[in-house]
Structure 1
Amino acid sequence: MIAVERTGRIYHGIDLDPLYVDLAIRRWQVWAGKQAVHAETGETFDALAARQFQQDADHAE
């Protein structure tokens, strides 16, 4: 993602493991100083991650 950002291109990626996807997005956000945004909902990655974390915590109880 970072290499694509440097060259001004558009990135579309896929990975089998969601943890690797999350890590790549977090690294890109730090590097670019931008927020990743869900294309369909407009929700930020951080908001989605926080909601998922809360849902996981609620299910663990």
Structure 2
Amino acid sequence: MKTVRWLLLVAFLIVVGLWPAALAPVTLALAGADLVLAAIPGPVLLLSAGVVWLWTRNRPTARA
């Protein structure tokens, strides 16, 4: 039972130690995406979303 406790402690320390390092690139990517989205004005985002919605809604289907 002592060995199992030691192994669990080691696994916990590895997970806790590696989690922030593994999460850093994701946090940086989300911050970059947030910066890009903040730079684009709201009406432009709404207009582009409307155009994409209309384009996908009225797109002709492929005929086999």
Q: What TM-score comes out, normalization by structure 2 length?
A: 0.33
Of structures 1 and 2, the one with the larger relative CO (CA 8 A, separation 6+) is: 1
Q: What TM-score comes out, normalization by structure 1 length?
A: 0.34
Larger Rg over CA atoms:
2
